[in-house]
Structure 1
Amino acid sequence: MALASQKDFFSGLMFTAVGGAFAWGAREYEIGEAARMGPGYFPFVLGILLAILGMVIMFKSFTSGPPGGDRIGAFAWRPMVFILGANLAFGALLAGVPALGLPAFGLVVAIYALVVIASFARPGASLKESLILATILAVGCYVAFVYLLKLQFPVWPAFLTN
Structure 2
Amino acid sequence: MAIASQKDFFSGLMFTAVGASFAWGATSFEVGTAAKMGPGYFPLMLGVLLAILGLIVTVRSLSKGGPGGDKIGAFAWRPLCFVLGANLAFGALLVGVPALGFPAFGLIVAIYALVIVASLAQPGFQLKSTLILATILAIGSYLAFVKLLSLQFPVWPSFLTN
Bigger Cα displacement from structure 2, 88-97 vs 38-47: 38-47
Query: d(CA) in 2 for partners of 1:98 and 1:142?
Result: 24
Deviation at 1:103, TM superposition (A): 1.3
Q: Equivalent residue of 1:12, what SS?
A: helix
Q: 1:29 aligned to 2:3?
A: no
Residue-by-residue CA offset, 1:83-136 (whole Å, 9 max, x unaligned): 111111111111112222221111111111111111111111101111010000
Do the aligned partners of residues 62 and 38 (structure 1) sit closer, same or farther apart at CA in structure 2, a change above 3 Å counting? same
CA distance in 2, matches of 1:33, 1:101: 45
Separation of aligned partners in 2, 1:4 and 1:101: 52
Task: Tell me what 1:86 maps to.
Answer: 86
Instruction: Summarize the alignment of residues 5-44 of structure 1 with structure 2, pairs less than 5 Å apart.
Output: 5-44=5-44
* TM-aligned CA distance change 1:93 to 1:32, over 3 Å: closer
Gaps of 5+ in 1: none
Name the Cα RMSD after superposition.
1.5
Report what 1:55 is aligned to.
Answer: 55
Tell me which residue corresponds to 1:161: 161
In structure 1, the residue matched to 2:73 is 73
Identity in percent: 73
CA–CA separation in structure 2 for the residues paired with 1:20 and 1:118: 29
Shift of the 47–142 alpha-carbon distance from structure 1 to 2, 3 Å rule, reads same
Is there any run of 5+ residues in structure 2 with no aligned partner, and where? none
Name the structure 2 match of 1:147.
147
Distance of 1:23 and 1:158 partners within structure 2: 39
Indicate the SS of the match to 1:147.
Answer: helix
Q: How many equivalent pairs are there?
A: 162
1:137 aligns with 2:133: no
Q: CA deviation at 1:41?
A: 2.4
More deviation, 7-16/28-37: 28-37
Please state whether the residue corresponding to 2:28 is helix, strand or coil: coil
Residue in 1 that maps onto 2:108: 108
CA distance in structure 2 between the aligned counterparts of 1:101 and 1:24, rounded to whole angstroms: 36
Deviation at 1:63, TM superposition (A): 1.3
1: CA distance between counterparts of 2:142 and 2:76?
Answer: 33
